[in-house]
Chains A and B, each alone.
Chain A
């Protein structure tokens, strides 16, 4: 992810999807604490373009947690895949059409769990999701989002930072507060970047607890967005 130093204006509107997920409230709180005006969707049907189009009007960026929320609230069936993938397509297309250039997309590090725990797995390793909706749905949503950053048939593209979050449950779990910090930092870096800058427009970052005992390394996120180096968000939005 390349970036040029730029001043990020305050009072930017951000669309937040999937607020009914465990991360929904802390992410919203962190975004508002950083000075963003948050428009949140709770149970809007993101597979309906008529519903989605007004949601993206006038927003500077989107934080898309809906695939994670769907996994948490829907029965564990194939229908989750349809809702997550198709809903992501509708949302991304609406963003493209409305000129919204930036998306922070939430996914899950569970797609990497098939590797042996002793391996140092990074963003350069191929995801190996199990054929379960809880892993497949966010993964398929990733694949959808990625195509909106590189389809040669498009005249302009989205810039997406995809954050794969570690488990939020358990003794060494990622805390929702740290996950929310990662979202704000990723968003801040996107908003500071030049939409026409060179470099990959799709960037995946692994977000685990910023502690030595975490299973997954967040070094990539530390380099790209300063995650874990400092959890202070007061510097993220320039005044």
Chain B
């Protein structure tokens, strides 16, 4: 598992460590906490939990280093790539795109048949006024470093899947919260999933039977009432069932003050 040092990695490890042997890889050693955790406060409270925490083999890997990536994949049955850099004009290309290339090269070199690729949605901004958006909607990342380079990495991964004998299950996310979060993050879109459901999605992605296409993308989001994004495909092909729909976020908890029009104009 590459790039496990972040919260999504933590959620994935929390689920997969229950039954699988993991080799964890990250550019940052486990003794060094994630920058967000160093801030404390809400970040720590909302960090994914690992109730079945185990010790795992760890290797320090920079995904931009092809040799390190290759060495880390030796002997593996599956690969999960969680590596990501957000809005950095240089490292976003190198980690999100070149890193994806290095991971896929390692997969075919070592005969790994299942790769779980991860990334952000690229179907929100470009479809802002649309509904019933499926994961098959053509990506619209824009020129933003994070979304664009993750999209480029997605295309790299797809190319490998289409021309080599392996399968890629690509999980696309947007916003995460603990299942008991009392309210949505400010600006959270209806593409939200709990940490617990996130972990379960990784288990399904690793364990699912052979997919219809060698590259299969999936929206990983809860069953939210907005009618905007659907995880139906993940349910159908991966057997993933989100358990957290955040009803506490959508209920009108308080009576809004009466609207008083401005009659002074």
Within 8 Å by CB of A153, from B66, B94, B142, B151, lies B142
Q: Are A147 and B143 in contact (CB under 8 A)?
A: yes
B16 at the interface (CB under 8 A from A): no
Chain B contact-residue range equals 20 to 34
The residues of B that contact A139 with a CB separation of less than 8 Å are 155
- Interface residues as binary, A131-167 with B (CB distance below 8 Å gives 1, 0 otherwise): 1000010011001100110111110000000000000
- The answer to whether A154 touches B163, judged by C-beta atoms less than 8 angstroms apart, is no
Q: List 13 A-B contacts (CB under 8 A).
A: A79-B98, A81-B101, A82-B93, A86-B93, A90-B89, A128-B162, A129-B159, A130-B163, A131-B156, A131-B163, A144-B143, A147-B148, A152-B140
Closest to B66 in A: A78
Q: Are A93 and B104 in contact (CB-based, < 8 A)?
A: no
Q: Choose one: B90, B126, B143; the contact of A93 (CB below 8 Å).
A: B143
CA distance A92 to B145 in the complex (A): 13
Report A114 CB to chain B, min CB distance, Å: 7
With A140-B152, A147-B141, A152-B126 as known contacts, state yes or no: A131 contacts B102, CB within 8 Å. no
Query: CA of A147 to CA of B148 in the docked complex: distance in angstroms?
Result: 8
Interface residues of B in 123-144 (CB under 8 A from A): 125-126, 128, 140-144
A78 to B142, CA, bound (A): 23
With contact pairs A79-B98, A85-B93 given, residues A140 and B155 touching in the complex (Cβ less than 8 Å) = yes
| Per-position binary interface string of chain A over residues 91-104, scored 1 when its CB falls under 8 Å from any chain B CB and 0 otherwise | 01100000000000
Q: Is A89 an interface residue (CB 8 A)?
A: yes
B interface majority secondary structure: helix
Q: Which A residues touch B90, using CB under 8 A?
A: 47, 86
B143 touches A136 (CB 8 A): no
A127 to chain B, nearest CB (A): 9
**C-alpha gap A85/B96 in the complex (Å):** 12
B97 near A81 with CB under 8 A, answer yes
B160 CB within 8 Å of chain A: yes
CB of A77 closer than 8 Å to a CB of B:
yes
With the chains together, A128 CA to B160 CA distance in Å? 10
- 9 A-B pairs closest in CB distance: A151-B142, A86-B93, A131-B159, A78-B101, A131-B160, A82-B98, A147-B143, A151-B143, A78-B98
Which among B97, B141, B143 is the interface contact of A140 at CB below 8 angstroms?
B97
* Contact residues in B for A85 (Cβ distance below 8 Å): 93, 97, 149, 152
Q: How far is the CA of A136 from the CA of B162 in the complex (A)?
A: 13
B156's partner among A140, A144, A154 (CB-CB below 8 A) is A140
- B105 adjacent to chain A (CB < 8 Å): yes
- A136-B156 in contact (CB<8A): yes
CA A92 – CA B102 in complex, angstroms? 26
Chain A 193-211, CB-CB to B under 8 Å as 1, else 0, gives: 0000000000000000000
Given A78-B102, A131-B156, the answer on whether A114 and B163 have CB atoms closer than 8 Å is yes
Q: Report B-chain residues with C-beta under 8 Å of the C-beta of A143.
A: 151-152, 155
Check B36 for interface membership: any CB of A closer than 8 A: no
User: In the assembled complex, how far is the CB of residue B61 from the closest CB belonging to chain A, in whole angstroms?
Assistant: 15
Q: Is B226 an interface residue (CB 8 A)?
A: no
A89 pairs with B143, CB closer than 8 A: yes
User: How far is B125's CA from A89's CA once the two chains are assembled, in angstroms?
Assistant: 20
B18 contacts A by Cβ under 8 Å? no
Quick one: which of B95-135 are within 8 Å of A by CB?
97-98, 101-102, 104-105, 125-126, 128
Given contacts A85-B152, A147-B143, 14 further A-B contacts (CB under 8 A): A49-B89, A78-B98, A78-B101, A81-B156, A86-B93, A90-B89, A131-B104, A131-B159, A131-B164, A136-B156, A147-B141, A147-B148, A151-B142, A152-B140
Q: Which of A49-71 contact B (CB under 8 A)?
A: 49
- Distance A150 CA – B101 CA, assembled complex (angstroms): 26
Residue of A nearest to B148 (CB): A147
Would you give the 0/1 interface string for B61-72, flagging 1 where the beta carbon is closer than 8 Å to chain A?
Answer: 000001000000
Residues of A with C-beta under 8 A to B94: 82
A77 touches B152 (CB 8 A): no
Measured in the bound complex, the distance between the Cα atoms of B141 and A179 in whole Å is: 31
Distance, CA A131 to CA B159, complexed state (A):
5
Cα A79 to Cα B61 with chains together (Å): 17
Contact B125 A152 (CB under 8 A): yes
Bound complex: CA of A200 vs CA of B187, how far in Å?
32
**A232 to chain B: closest CB distance in Å?**
38
Given A77-B66, A93-B143, A153-B142, do A144 and B125 touch, yes or no (CB 8 Å)? no
